[in-house]
Structure formats: C-alpha cells, structure tokens
Structure 1
Amino acid sequence: MDPRLAHIDTWIFDLDNTLYPAGADLFAQIEARMTDYVVALEGCDRETAFAIQKRHFVAHGTTLSGLMAERAIDPHEFLAFVHDVDMDRLSPNDRLVEAIARLPGRKLVFTNGDAPYATRVLGRLGLEGSFEAIHDIHATGYLPKPHPQAYDGLCEAWGIDPTRALFVEDMARNLPPAKAIGMTTVWIDNGSEQVGVDRAAIDFVTTDLTAWLTDLWEDL
C-alpha cells in the first residue's frame, strides 16, 4: 500500500460518476426524470422545470431537498420515480472489484441517492458484495452532501474516525467538508468542474478510479 495512505482504515466512496465513469451518462436519464417530475408537479413546460431543478440544486444541494423545503413532496415517491432508469450502460468492472477488495479495512458508499438505487448500480458493476453499508439520503435526514451535518452523521452512524478515513468523490464541491473534519480526499476529475475548485481540500486527483486504486499497489 502507498505509505501516504498507511493510516487509512475506512474507505468511503461516492456512487454516481465515481464508481462508474461519467461517460456512462446515467445521470442524464435521472435528470430527465427529475424534469418530468417537476413538470407534473408544477404544471409547467420542460424549460421552466429544468430551471427550477437547477435553482433547487444550487440553493439546497439537491433538487429533492429544494422540493421538500418548498413543496413538501414525499421523498420516497420522488426517488422511486427519478431512479427508474435503464442501467444497460453499466457493466461489471472486475478490475475495480478486485482493487476495492484489496483495500485494508472498512468500505462504505456515501451517496445523495437512495439505497435501492445504489444497490441496483452496485449490482450492475459487480460490486454488490464489496461494501459494508450504503449511507444514503434517507440516512442523512435529507441533508445532502455538501452539508457538513451529512458528514458528521456518517461518521457517527458508523463509528468512523474521519482522520483515518479516505473519501472519493467526483464533485469537488463535496470535498471541503470532508477535508475539514480530517478525511483524506480523492477527486475524480471528470471534466465537469473546472472553476471554483478548492484545491486545498483535495489530496489526490485522478480521472480513473480503477487505475488509481490499482496503482496504489503497482507503483511500489
């Protein structure tokens, strides 16, 4: 193991565009389903619905959080609807399965999605047996990343010492709260964020999680 990570005993992974490549574009389907939901909820056109989505995302961290705050929607109903997507673009990643299996210590998924959806994604990737737990949006009390309370709640729920934990995430905006409590951070730079990235909150950068994890051993 890379000696810089010898202290890590808990490995925490985001789900979407982290455990699978952003090129799979799974979130495009989810985003379109969110637009459909807002159209039906607000009785507006798709352009207006998309603008509402983005307003909620910026103000609240997720569209769900914004709709819960302003429209008191049922989060279970919303998540079941938006996650009803085709996962044919995902396929088993044996190299990633092996690389995660080699990591010493505990492994968890930390996602702004929900556990049923995450379970489906992990199954498609061959990772269904790779993680101790999925800490999802229900577990955070609907306070999504990057709310600091979401990270505190994760550590409290699973008895994690953040100074001995590593967090992997494709959204740079979600890394500063992890770094603030002592986590080692890894940014999966998929090209979607190039402005306003807090480099001081990022310990490692990669464009390919599978290669990065494999190289932790092969570079020695």
Structure 2
Amino acid sequence: MIAFCSVRFPFWLFGDRFEVIAYQSFLNSLLLVFDFFFFFSDLDDTLYPLSSGIAAECRKNILEYMLEKLGIEESNLLELCTVLYKHYGTTMAGLKAIGYNFDYDDFHSFVHGRLPYETLKPDPVINQLLLSLPVRKVIFTNSDQAHAAKVLKKLDLEDCFDTVICFETLNPPSSSSREDNSANIFDIISYLSKPDPNVDLPKTPILCKPSIEAMEHALRIANIDPQRTIFFDDSIRNIQSGKEIGLHTVLVGTTERINGADHALESLHDMKEALSELWEEAEKSEDDKPSTKIPIETTVVA
C-alpha cells in the first residue's frame, strides 16, 4: 500500500460562474517540503539484519551449485566465487561472463530454494515506519522474484512497497544447453594474476547492481527521479554507484559513513531518528492543506 501526496482543488462559486483556485503557492511549498518523493531500497541484509544468517547460507548454496552443477574443482571454489563477486557484482553474473552455461531459474531455485526463511520474522517497526512515510516505495534487488516475495511475506512488508524490481525485471529468460562447455571457460584467476593488455575481461550478459547501467535501467522502469529519491542499501559498492547517478544515499548496517553515503544507519529501525524531517514535514503538510469546503458568495440586493 502506498500513500501519495496529493492536493484536491476546491471550486469556488461566485454568482453564476465557477472559478478553479489552484493554490499554486501551496503546491510550490509542497515541492519544497517533499525533497524526496521516492524510497528506493535493497532487500537482503537491508530490510533485515545480516545476523539472520540468510547471506551466509546463500553463499554456501552458491558454492555447492558451482561444485555440483558446474563441476568446478573444490579447491578453486572460494577464490573463484570471491573474484567473480568482486568484478561482476554477483557470482552468478561472473559465472555467465566467463562462459558457464546454466539456466537462471535452476540457479535461483538451487541457491534460494533451501534458505532458512524461518529465521525471518515479521518486523512491525519497519512496517509502521514505511507505511507512515508518504512517498512511493520501491524495492530493487539482484535476487529473483520468488525469493523477494518470500522475504517480504516473512517480514510482513508485502503491503509496504509499490513496486519490486528484481532479477527477472532486468534480465530476459536464459537459454541453456546440457553441453559440456568447460573448454571455453575463461580462466579469470590466471588472467588476474598476470593480466594481458591485449585481452579484456569478458562482459556479463546479466544486469545487476552495482552496475550503473542496471541502476539507471531500474530507475527508468520504476519511473522515478534519482534526484528526488532516497536509496537504502547495505553494500558500499551499490551506495557509491547510487551516489554517482544522483541518488541520496543511506548505507545500512553500520553507523560509519563512507565515501558516497549521505547517511549511515545501523538498522532501518533508526531511519525516523536519522531522517526525522521527512516525517515531520509530512505531518505538517497534512495540517497545512487548504480546506476543501465550498464557500458560496451570495449577492444581496438592498
């Protein structure tokens, strides 16, 4: 459920004609009051704490997928996973980039299908904070739709967001074959240990954070203005990319501000204290709304 800031225009009756009073000055004041019209937030480790253990289990499942489904040697798993995450934003995006052929849905089902969602509990504090904030709210996650839906349901935040932009939003369905393409895999570990100036790192077909292209595409899909948007994320890289495209940024999970973060919060529970002006001005604007009563001027003939 989303609350929009709106103004109703009263009609004033003068004798035999109607005149629409637009209250332009009031509209202008609203634009000044609501510097931010959009709440743009990450999902995992942002709406719930890292201590939930979801992230650790997710990484464990990714490593198992690489071992069992892609046949990657166990001794290379950790290093390869870390390198791909660093250079491509997600391990999945990196695996596609260096030549591994797999189905997106199969990957997501394996990695997210066994997560301990029972560790996530309803969060009435965040629920009330979000519902009381009169701006449009959008989730932007690298995760798939099924995972996002499960997380929001477990947290009881399903009605708090207007839109969810997920993996499927930015990426068309994959087509994979069962062929063994191990001979075509780009050896990124060897390349990084001894870079060849004549060889470029392969590009990934997957759009995901912290890619500027992915973030700009998500903003276009959601039809929101980065200059009037507050962006919450637990990833430093994502925050810095967000700042680069003009978002007002809030790093979640620490109180230590880093380059690119306008604010830093230990938890979203703290956002009203840190950004209290949003709620204060919202409440004030409700009190300042012009009356919608219809005054009638009558002509008296003496």
Same fold (TM over 0.5): yes
Aligned partner of 1:93 among 93, 117, 123 = 123
2:128 paired with 1:64 = no
Are the equivalent residues in 2 in contact too, given 1:14–1:168 (CA < 8 A)? yes
**How far 1:64 moved relative to its partner?**
0.8
Residue in 1 that maps onto 2:238: 174
Q: Distance between the aligned counterparts of 2:33 and 2:137, measured in 1?
A: 14
**How far 1:190 moved relative to its partner?**
4.3
| Alpha-carbon distance change, 173 to 124 in structure 1, aligned in 2, over 3 angstroms | same
Q: Distance between the aligned counterparts of 1:44 and 1:110, measured in 2?
A: 30
Residue in 2 that maps onto 1:133: 163
Residue in 2 that maps onto 1:52: 80
**Percent identity between the aligned chains?**
28
Are the equivalent residues in 2 in contact too, given 1:67–1:73 (CA < 8 A)? no
Residue in 2 that maps onto 1:82: 111
Q: Distance between the aligned counterparts of 2:94 and 2:274, measured in 1?
A: 40
Structure exhibiting the larger radius of gyration computed from Cα positions? 2
Please give the TM-score of this superposition, normalised by the length of structure 2.
Answer: 0.65
Are the equivalent residues in 2 in contact too, given 1:100–1:213 (CA < 8 A)? no
What one-letter code is carried by the residue in structure 2 that aligns with 1:17? Answer: D
| Structure 2 residue runs without a partner (length 5+) | 1-31, 172-205, 281-302
2:276 paired with 1:213 = no
Q: Distance between the aligned counterparts of 2:89 and 2:145, measured in 1?
A: 18
Aligned partner of 2:132 among 74, 84, 102 = 102
What one-letter code is carried by the residue in structure 2 that aligns with 1:16? Answer: D
Residue in 2 that maps onto 1:201: 260
Are the equivalent residues in 1 in contact too, given 2:138–2:164 (CA < 8 A)? yes
**How far 1:47 moved relative to its partner?**
4.2
**How far 1:183 moved relative to its partner?**
0.9
Q: Calculate the aligned-residue CA RMSD, in Å.
A: 2.2
Tell me the number of residue pairs that the alignment of Structure 1 and Structure 2 aligns.
212
Q: Distance between the aligned counterparts of 1:182 and 1:161, measured in 2?
A: 9
Structure 1 consecutive aligned stretches of length 4 or more whose deviation exceeds 4 Å: none
Please give the TM-score of this superposition, normalised by the length of structure 1.
Answer: 0.88
Provide Cα deviations, 1:46-87, integer angstroms capped at 9, x if missing partner: 442222211211121101101222212211110111001111
Are the equivalent residues in 2 in contact too, given 1:68–1:75 (CA < 8 A)? no
